[in-house]
Amino acid sequence: MYQIFVVEDELLIRQSIRNIIENMQGPYSLCGEASDGEMALSMMQDLMPDIVLTDIRMPFLDGFELIRHAKAMMPWLKIAIISGYGDFESAQKAISLGVDQYLLKPIRPPELTKAIEDIARRIDADKQQRQSAGGYNDDEVQHALRQHFMQQMLYGGLHTSTLLEKAHVLKLDVVKPCYQPVLFFFGHEEMDWRLLQNAVRSLMDRLGNPLYFFSEASMLTVLLDGRDQDSLSENVYQFIAILRHELKEICPIITTVVGHAVQRLSAVCQAYRTAADLLRKVSDVSAGQVVDASDAAQIAAQIIELGDPFGAQFHQKLQQTASADVPALVDEALGGADGNRFNSTLMRYYALIDLLKMTALLIVKSRPELDMKDVATQLSTEYDVMAASGNMPAFRQAAIDLLQRSVALREENLSSMKYSHVISKAEKYVAENYCDPNISLISVAKYVGLSAAHFSTVFSQTVGHSFINYLTGMRIERAKELLTTTNMKLSSIAMEIGYNEPNYFSHVFRKLEGITPKEYRIRTQGDQ
């Protein structure tokens, strides 16, 4: 299916383009539309379209700026400009930006249909070329040397001066303010590994050849860099989104670990080792997810085959303990005859892991539909187990907090805890501002203090669907309420829920509910 996004500030023209796309025969789908470039960029980052049809002259962000930013975030995009300006300067600028089609208004249905079909064929041709074993013109020796250099940097053993000398010979600019390794695990047993590696190589060529290395057939490491921590984080999550999109047909489940950011080339090796160890531990529990190595507690969730440092009697008492009595129960265990065992940092670490396992068991006992490993992973993200093991006061407090959480959750639904404060803040903000037509992924991400790419990943993983779908769903639910309980005009309802244009509101409503707003009103009010 070719996902098409339309950007046009004139409602009638946008509606005409929408109708043409919806009447096309074949695997074509309108995934979204916007009336200006700024809104479009926010939505496209979430929807990840294949084809964009855009005007040039638009408010806030014109078509050329939209194309430039969109291509940087989504290099696979195919672009068709639909403009009323046929001057040489505009056409020349479009060519420089890599635009695939330049169509003049007024656009006729056969002309637009043919342009979209031509672009679709080009997408197919590009995929075939990327997946072709012999479709590359790179110098194989240079490629092999780059791979070997990356291997030496990741595995260590060479002095920084030696690495810099090798980089100079290979004409690699590796002196950067900060670095961050990102590891990808492709765990599909029946995968065509040669096809995967060819697709990765083609993608790296198009993304400016970042350093990468397949340490195993199923594990890829990419070294990204940035001018500062914020820009590096943004680049990392954009890169992850691009790679996962480009390889989704070859490998739909890609587990990703974002390593620690470091400021020295010599520190890349240790950051890689830590991330690789974490990836091996989370590849089963968090398959298909993006895990950040800074959440060291993720490691703890994997270690569930431990002994019983607190003892069976402690477990039995806990079954009947209220939340307020947990501190006394913990102090009893620490002050008892066997309490001296917790003088060891290692034992405190194991004890917290045991509590993590025990808490997960308690929750799953009350909620049998939950998976214990998933619960343990979610709980572990709330606590820095390694840091809490460092001294007795921190250990005691972590144990109390963890146990009180388990007791409190016995009768409650277990929701995703990772980034829970961020998601809660975002959900509250959306609930209070969803009627604002200017609310977007970018504005909400800024409000909660994350980059747009990072927030998009965190939100979709935690909530279970994309931000755009979440916002749209909230708006449509409110629309259904207004359609059922009031006699407001459709145009007024559209404005009430954040859509400036009734026709677009009707299009979205029909897409989600299968009927028009008018039909929904007749059906629901007729049942009353």
CA distances from 187 to 29, 168, 196, 239, 408 (A): 30, 35, 12, 20, 37
Give the CA count within 13 Å in the CB-facing half-sphere of 503. 13
Q: For position 196, what pLDDT does the model report?
A: 87
DSSP 343: G
Residues 282, 181 within the same domain: yes
Residues 285, 146 within the same domain: yes
Q: Residue 115: count other Cβ atoms within 10 Å of its Cβ.
A: 19
Cα–Cα distance for residue pair 166/162, rounded to 1 Å: 6
Residues 13, 124 within the same domain: yes
Task: Tell which of 295, 316, 331 closes a domain.
Answer: 295
Residues 105, 198 within the same domain: no
Q: For position 503, what pLDDT does the model report?
A: 84
What length does the chain have?
528
Q: Residue 255: count other Cβ atoms within 10 Å of its Cβ.
A: 22
Determine contact, residues 310/398, Cβ cutoff 8 Å: no
Q: For position 368, what pLDDT does the model report?
A: 66
- Domain assignment present for residue 427? The answer is yes
Cα–Cα distance for residue pair 17/30, rounded to 1 Å: 10
Cα–Cα distance for residue pair 66/53, rounded to 1 Å: 11
Beta strands of 146-240 (E only): which ranges?
Answer: 178-186, 211-216, 219-226
- Domain assignment present for residue 413? The answer is no
Q: For position 528, what pLDDT does the model report?
A: 56
The whole domain housing 102 covers: 2-131
Q: Starting from the edge strand earliest in sequence, which strands make up the sheet with 2-7, in order?
A: 28-34, 2-7, 51-54, 78-83, 101-104
Q: Render each residue's pLDDT in the chain as its tens digit; 528 residues.
A: 899 999 998 888 999 999 999 999 989 999 999 988 888 887 887 788 999 999 988 877 788 888 888 887 788 889 999 988 777 777 778 888 889 999 888 889 999 999 999 999 998 887 777 655 444 444 567 777 888 889 888 988 788 888 898 888 888 888 899 999 999 999 766 777 888 888 998 899 888 889 999 877 789 999 999 988 888 988 999 999 999 999 988 888 899 999 999 998 889 999 999 888 888 877 765 678 888 887 544 444 433 434 567 777 777 787 677 888 889 988 888 887 666 777 777 678 778 877 887 777 767 766 666 777 777 777 776 676 777 877 888 889 988 988 887 777 554 433 344 567 788 889 999 999 999 988 988 889 999 988 888 888 888 877 777 899 899 999 999 999 999 999 999 999 999 999 988 888 988 898 888 899 999 998 887 665
Determine contact, residues 259/248, Cβ cutoff 8 Å: no
Residues 145, 274 within the same domain: yes
Cα–Cα distance for residue pair 402/309, rounded to 1 Å: 16
Determine contact, residues 479/505, Cβ cutoff 8 Å: yes
Output the DSSP codes for 404-462: HHHHHTTTS-----TTHHHHHHHHHHHHHHTT-TT--HHHHHHHHTS-HHHHHHHHHHH
Residues 125, 169 within the same domain: no
Cα–Cα distance for residue pair 410/391, rounded to 1 Å: 29
- Domain assignment present for residue 484? The answer is yes
Task: Tell which of 249, 267, 295 closes a domain.
Answer: 295
Q: For position 366, what pLDDT does the model report?
A: 62
Q: For position 303, what pLDDT does the model report?
A: 38
Cα–Cα distance for residue pair 378/414, rounded to 1 Å: 9
Q: For residue 18, give every residue at least 6 positions away whose Cβ sits within 8 Å of its Cβ, in sequence order, or none.
A: 6, 30, 33, 507
Cα–Cα distance for residue pair 300/348, rounded to 1 Å: 13
Please state the separation of Cα 184 from the chain's center in Å.
14
Residues 88, 153 within the same domain: no
Q: For position 480, what pLDDT does the model report?
A: 93
Instruction: State pTM to two decimals.
Output: 0.58
- Domain assignment present for residue 416? The answer is no
Tokens of 300: 């703890």
Q: For residue 291, give every residue at least 6 positions away whose Cβ sits within 8 Å of its Cβ, in sequence order, or none.
A: 255, 256, 257, 258, 278, 279, 282, 298
CA distances from 371 to 295, 353, 367, 417 (A): 21, 17, 9, 15
Residue 32 sits in a domain whose CATH number is 3.40.50.2300
Residues 144, 291 within the same domain: yes
Residue 279 sits in a domain whose CATH number is 3.30.70.270
Domain count, the chain: 4
Residues 484, 374 within the same domain: no
Residues 358, 387 within the same domain: yes
- Partner residues linked to 389 by β-bridges: none
Query: Coil, helix or strand for 219?
Result: strand
Residue 458 sits in a domain whose CATH number is 1.10.10.60
Residues 309, 204 within the same domain: no
- Domain assignment present for residue 415? The answer is no
Q: Residue 489: count other Cβ atoms within 10 Å of its Cβ.
A: 10
Residues 401, 492 within the same domain: no
Q: For position 132, what pLDDT does the model report?
A: 59
- Domain assignment present for residue 53? The answer is yes
Q: What is the sign, positive or negative, of the torsion defined by CA atoms of 159, 162, 166, 172?
A: positive
Task: Tell which of 374, 408, 442 closes a domain.
Answer: 408
Burial class of residue 181 (count of CB atoms within 10 Å of its CB; 0-12, 13-18, 19+): buried
Biggest distance spanned by C-alpha atoms of the chain: 88
- Domain assignment present for residue 235? The answer is yes
Cα–Cα distance for residue pair 327/348, rounded to 1 Å: 16
AA identity, residue 353: I
- Domain assignment present for residue 204? The answer is yes
